[in-house]
Amino acid sequence: MRVSIGVLLVAILTLGVNGIYQIVRKPTELFFPVSGTLYKTPSETWRVYAPIFRRYATRTITPELLAALAQVEASGNPLVRTYWRWSWALKPFELYRPASSAVGMYQITDGTFAEARHYCIRGHALVREGAWNDWHACWFNALYWRVVPSHAVQLTSAYLDLKVSAILGRLGVTRATSAQQRHLAAAVHLCGAALGATYVRQGFHFTDTQRCGDQDPRAYLGRVDAMQAVFARLAAAEAGGAVPDTH
C-alpha cells in the first residue's frame, strides 16, 4: 500500500514539475482558462479585426488573405493553444508537452517569430528594423508579442511578404499572378519557405502525396481560398453599409 501511494505521489510531483517547466518555456499556456471563449465566426473576426487587417496589408498580402489565415488557423482566436501530446523520449521534459511552439491567431512558431520580429509594415510596405535614429526603420520590435492581435497580424504580413518576394526573386519568376502570390503566401505559412519554393518550381502546384506535417496542403489552400471569398463578401457588404451574418 505504501509503495502504491509513493508511486502515485512521485507521478503527481513529476507531472506538476513538468507542467511548471512547460509553462516557463511557453508562458502562453497560462491563458488556457479563457482561450476557449475567444473563437469567432468569420463575420465576428472581420468586425473585430478588419481595421488591423487593412492597416498591415501589403500589395501582396491582402486584408482578405490575412483574415482568411486567421480564421483557418484559429477561428480568429488570439489565444488559441496547441494540444499537448505524449511522446517517447529520453529527456523527461519531452515526454508530455505542447505539440508545437506555435502561438496565437496565426500559430506563429518560435522560429518564424525570431525572423519576423525584425520587420514591420509601414504604409503597406515591408520595412526592416534599424538604428534608433532612423525614422524610416522599425522601432520597438523587441516588444512584439504573438498573442496581441495587431502584433500577430503585422508579424504575419511582414514575414509572408518577405518570403513571397524572396522566393519569386530567387527563382526568377516575374509574372506570378496576384492569386498565385497569395497561394504561395498561404503555402509558406503552412509549410515553410523551402516547400513554398518547391510549390513554385512545380508550377504553383502540390502533388497528391506532398504533406506539410500531417496536413494536405492542397486542402489547406482550398480552405484559405474559400475563406478569402467569405471575407471579400463581408468587405463588400461593409462598404455597402450592411454586414451579412456569415458563419
Q: Crossing angle for the helix pair 217-239 and 42-55, nearest 10 degrees? A: 80
pLDDT confidence tier of residue 83, bands split at 50, 70 and 90 = low
Q: Does the pLDDT value for residue 10 go beyond 60?
A: no
- What's the distance, CA 63 to chain centroid? 15
C-alpha cell at 148: 496581441
**pLDDT at position 59:** 97
- The amino acid occupying position 10 is V
**pLDDT at position 101:** 64
Q: Does the pLDDT value for residue 21 go beyond 90?
A: no
Please state, in angstroms and rounded to a whole number, the distance separating the CA atoms of residues 194 and 175.
20
**pLDDT at position 188:** 98
Please state, in angstroms and rounded to a whole number, the distance separating the CA atoms of residues 20 and 150.
29
Please state, in angstroms and rounded to a whole number, the distance separating the CA atoms of residues 119 and 130.
9
Strand runs labelled E in the chain: 84-86, 96-98, 119-122, 125-128
Please state, in angstroms and rounded to a whole number, the distance separating the CA atoms of residues 233 and 237.
6
- Indicate the length of the chain as a whole number: 247
pLDDT confidence tier of residue 11, bands split at 50, 70 and 90 = very low
Q: Which residue has the cell 522599425?
A: 138
**pLDDT at position 33:** 57
Query: What element of type H or E holds 111?
Result: helix 110-116
Closest CA to 52 of 169, 191, 156: 156
**pLDDT at position 135:** 75
Phi/psi-derived region of residue 118, left when phi > 0, alpha when psi is between -120 and 50, beta in every other case: alpha
The pTM for the full model equals 0.83
Q: Given this structure, which CATH class describes domain 2-239? A: mainly alpha
Please state, in angstroms and rounded to a whole number, the distance separating the CA atoms of residues 37 and 238.
26
Please state, in angstroms and rounded to a whole number, the distance separating the CA atoms of residues 48 and 18.
36
pLDDT confidence tier of residue 63, bands split at 50, 70 and 90 = very high
Q: What is the pLDDT of residues 176-230, one digit of tens each?
A: 999 999 999 999 999 999 999 999 999 999 999 999 988 999 999 999 999 999 9
pLDDT confidence tier of residue 25, bands split at 50, 70 and 90 = very low
Please state, in angstroms and rounded to a whole number, the distance separating the CA atoms of residues 56 and 152.
10
The dihedral formed by the CA atoms of 83, 89, 94 and 96, expressed in degrees to the nearest 10: 40
Q: Which residue has the cell 506535417?
A: 213
